[in-house]
Chain A
Amino acid sequence: MADVQLVNLTIEGRQVSVPAGTSILEAAKAAGVLIPHYCYHPSLSIAGNCRMCQVEVEKLPKLAPACATAVAEGQVVHVYSERALEARKGVLEFLLLNHPLDCPICDQSGECELQDYTYREGRAEGRSQEPKRFNPVEDFGGDVLYVTNRCILCTRCVRFMDEVAKDTVLNVSERGDRAVIGKFEGKDLTHPWASNVVDLCPVGALLSKDFLNKARAWELDRTPSICPNCTQGCNTILETRDNVVVRMRPRTNSEVNRYFLCDEGRLDYRWMNRTDRVEAPLVRRGDRLVAVDWEEALKAAALHLNGKRAFVLASPKLSNESLWMLSRLVEKTGGRGAFRVAHGPEAPLPGVPDLALRAERAPNVRAAELFGFTKSDTPLSALGSDDVLVIADHELAPADAEAVQRAASVIVIGTTLPEAARHALVVLPATNVAEEEGTFTNLRGRVQRYLQARSAPGMARPVWWSTGDLLAFLGERAGYFLASEAFAALAAARPEYAGMSYDTLGLKGQLLAGAAAPAEAARS
């Protein structure tokens, strides 16, 4: 790596040095100049077909496609020269020739690169008087609709399926202006990672059925988050409208998920909007649970725990902060902790090293184990009859119901109250991943932050918060008000997290001490 040769060039008057072999397009990006483009995508082979990225390079007779032209020493590149602008204006006019111009009813509107560049560089009006070509909308299977008339044939979708998913279910069919994206009768876009073609499509030609007509792009609030659906820890953007999560999309992280999300993960967000939530702290009065304030509920919980061992059934979907705080409760009471993780088929994305929908369908199995919780399919098997069972947002399977009855008493900290735990003495309302700030530790030991995307219902609080307060009632110094404080305390206490803070984690995360970066591992 050390002997990479650097090439110096000038792009729009800015000097840049980039490794030899870099494209002008990437070099411009490094210089802070966005060269308009459609077919180019950093995760795909160079197709060079849209011709949108044409720029003027001094001393070259023709305009150069920036995505397909390597930098050269001393090159002087003009992105906005008259010739380059004329050429791109021409491309835009051609692309709109048969386009239905139906932005008002298109889901992509507002996040469409055809709109954006036409607005920036296109003609005010097209000149064509000829009738437009028409093709019907096709259901590509999976979550994907193909709106043929909006397709600009950049082939990103075809290349993704071919090169990254390695499941060539899409093709370019026919040629000339009859060309369309095609598939084979009976073979659908059902690959577990297929929906990425919707994100990759620069226009409104590939649409998510799940998101169809749900919201306009400009009405959405966007929050960086982490997919909570498996141990891979893909980086996401949670998109909300009026406090409702309406879509989950990939957020680029070259160390984890590059530009991608699996279909199962991306479509599994509706539970974040559940309305059957515990919204207030509850304590048992006879055969009823009554709503009380936090202090009363915490006091009641502390009373039940006093002198008893806590058996903490902690969900591996909880944050590092929450799991660590729960582990302190275990420690304080001399108790135990356990959890179960749901499984599903593993589904790799073949074109990206170490990226897969993991069999373990929860985001924080690694931290749960690290903090001493025992992973088991029957996590309650070691529950003693003197133990206080603390169920921390853990799902209860039918088989667990009997074991739950065994506990001396039950305290629930959760988003909902499971049927089998209706006899709980205290119920503390908790926030879900969309409603709090926190961190997860993925299977490779990458610690990653997620931010709060929607407001919590009622009086719900993050589990680390209520557990910290509970510990305080038990005589520990554990009251934290900010997730960052809770994390700082965790980092101070646990050597694997030493030196980390929300600032150092940033939005790309950091590896646990001693964990090798998967990308590094793949390279060496």
Chain B
Amino acid sequence: MGYPHTSHPKETPVLSQYFGDPGARSLDGWKQRGGYRALEKALGMSPADIVNEVKESGLRGRGGAGFPTGVKWSFMKPGDGKPHYLCVNADESEPGTFKDREIMRWTPHALIEGAAIGAYAIGAETCYIYIRGEFTEPLRVMNAAVKEAYAAGVIGPNAMGTGKRIDVHVHKGAGAYICGEETALMNSLEGKRGNPRIKPPFPAVAGLFGKPTTINNVETLAAVPHILNRGAAWYKGMSRGNPKSTGTKLFSVCGNVAKPGNYEVEMGFPFKEFLYELCGGPLPGRRFKAIIPGGSSVPIQTVEEAEATVMDYEGFIAQGTMLGSGGVIVFDDSQCMVKHIARLARFYAHESCAQCTQCREGTAWTTRILERIERGHGTMADLDTLLELADQMTGKTICVLSDSCAAPIVSGIKKFRSEFEAHITGKRCPMGATAAA
């Protein structure tokens, strides 16, 4: 199917197969569509075999960092006598990203199934699904699905009648982008301010409530049942020749594009074809100007760079950016880049947890400078200051929110310098009239 439009023939709908299909939401509906077979199978396997299968599949984290999921799971030492936890990262707050939302809205049981398999594989009896507070509909759907799954004995003290305990709880966030960072999420779950923690210790050693914990993104976990059902080799086969990036990936597309929405393609899909064929290209009479392909935290690409990109972890890096969360933000030639970069900086300034000096002060300071340039009161020296501040904000803080603020600033000034200069020399936004068209 697909939502908001039916899947394009060039898509490979695995996770998105039932997007837009309300029948898939219920437990029965999900079972009719093949649901919970993988969990049944998994509970009959040894955790180590599940971990190996996932390792073998090449699945990498879809939350942004792209860490191999099987390897992450293998850090959890079975039988250490401590409670283990699985956290599901459903905080999805990275500007440009809205894929986990659709997974939860349409296929809540896909997530519960994946989470239950993950929990069993890492020796956890408890799994918390941390959903951002603004996701009122996904929260309603997930809560109902969890309730249904408990009632049917799919999860609970005797999951699928196997005698194994798998508890799943939905935990509602309360408005903080930073809680998507894994250790901030754990602090938030524990009832604290959502401050990222210093690492080490890593979550696999001391995570939620100080206990060994694994955290995975919604999309990562939703892929797991498919891997168990159809095998690692099948999953690995969905790739265009790069064994490091396998499977399908949901890309959320937004901004100035004809058909915004979620698209699921094989890793390695050509970005140009993606943008112009699947997403319908620019709006009538417009041209693409800049693309941020992996959520707002990754470097901005020019159209030329984007068109030369293949869509996998390595492919985006080769073109100066990152796959990140797969949130593709498109700006066309009606948009003022200075304005958007300033607005993104403001986002990070708003969301900084306030621990690290460089981030707390740097995000706010760069925002003020950028907004001043946007208003036509900037100087050329400001650009140097911005780049230097961005350097001070990169690689020096507890988490990478600070780096994320710096990334679009550095790439923006580098790639769209003339727009900055035009604001400075012209003392106003040259696109003032059309900026918000």
Contact = CB atoms under 8 A, between A and B. Distances in A.
A–B direct touch, CB within 8 Å, in complex? yes
A292 interface: no
Contacts of A130: 365, 368-369, 372
Given A130-B369, A176-B350, A52 B396 contact: no
Contacts of A240: none
Interface residues of A, number: 34
A212 interface: no
A175 B179 CA distance: 13
B5 interface: no
A172 B356 CA distance: 13
A52 B198 CA distance: 15
Given A94-B365, A130-B368, A153-B360, A177 B396 contact: no
A87 interface: yes
A151 to B, nearest CB: 11
A65 to B, nearest CB: 8
Interface in B370-394: 372, 385, 389, 392
A291 B172 CA distance: 81
Nearest to B365: A97
Given A94-B358, A130-B368, A177-B354, A62 B392 contact: no
A176 B349 contact: yes
A461 interface: no
A273 B239 CA distance: 83
B198 A46 contact: yes
Nearest to B193: A172
B396 A87 contact: yes
B361 A49 contact: no
B32 interface: no
A48 B360 contact: no
Contacts of B362: 94
A94 B354 CA distance: 12
Which secondary structure dominates chain B's binding surface? helix
Nearest to B382: A129
Given A49-B355, A130-B372, A174-B354, A68 B360 contact: no
A523 B338 CA distance: 61
B392 A176 contact: no
A66 B364 CA distance: 26
A72 interface: no
A90 B360 CA distance: 13
Nearest to A97: B361
A289 interface: no
B238 interface: no
A51 interface: yes
Contact of B357 (A52, A127, A175, A176): A52
B397 interface: yes
B349 A177 contact: yes
Interface string A119-135: 00000000111100000
B307 interface: no
A407 interface: no
Interface residues of B, number: 30
Contacts of A127: 385
A47 B363 CA distance: 20
Contacts of B364: 176-177
A63 interface: yes
A172 B392 CA distance: 24
Between A46, A49, A65, A129, the greatest number of chain B beta carbons within 10 A of the residue's beta carbon is seen for A49
Contact of A176 (B352, B358, B389, B398): B352
B396 A153 contact: no
Between B350, B356, B363, B385, the greatest number of chain A beta carbons within 10 A of the residue's beta carbon is seen for B356
A63 B349 contact: no
A95 to B, nearest CB: 6
Contacts of B392: 87, 90-91, 93-94
Nearest to B397: A51
Between B198, B385, B389, the greatest number of chain A beta carbons within 10 A of the residue's beta carbon is seen for B198
B349 A91 contact: no
Contacts of B355: 47-49, 153
B311 to A, nearest CB: 27
Contacts of B357: 49-52, 91, 94-95, 152-153
A175 B352 contact: yes
A322 interface: no
Contacts of B352: 175-177
Going nearest first, the 10 A-B pairs with the smallest beta carbon separation are A179-B354, A90-B392, A177-B364, A94-B361, A49-B355, A48-B198, A130-B368, A176-B352, A175-B354, A94-B357
28 contacts: A48-B355, A50-B356, A50-B357, A51-B356, A51-B397, A52-B357, A62-B395, A68-B198, A91-B392, A94-B357, A94-B358, A94-B362, A95-B357, A97-B361, A97-B365, A98-B361, A130-B365, A152-B357, A153-B355, A153-B357, A175-B176, A175-B351, A175-B354, A176-B352, A177-B352, A177-B354, A177-B363, A178-B354
Given A65-B198, A152-B357, A175-B193, 8 more contacts: A51-B356, A62-B395, A68-B198, A91-B392, A175-B178, A175-B352, A177-B361, A177-B364
Interface of B: 176, 178, 193, 198, 349-358, 360-365, 368-369, 372, 385, 389, 392, 395-398
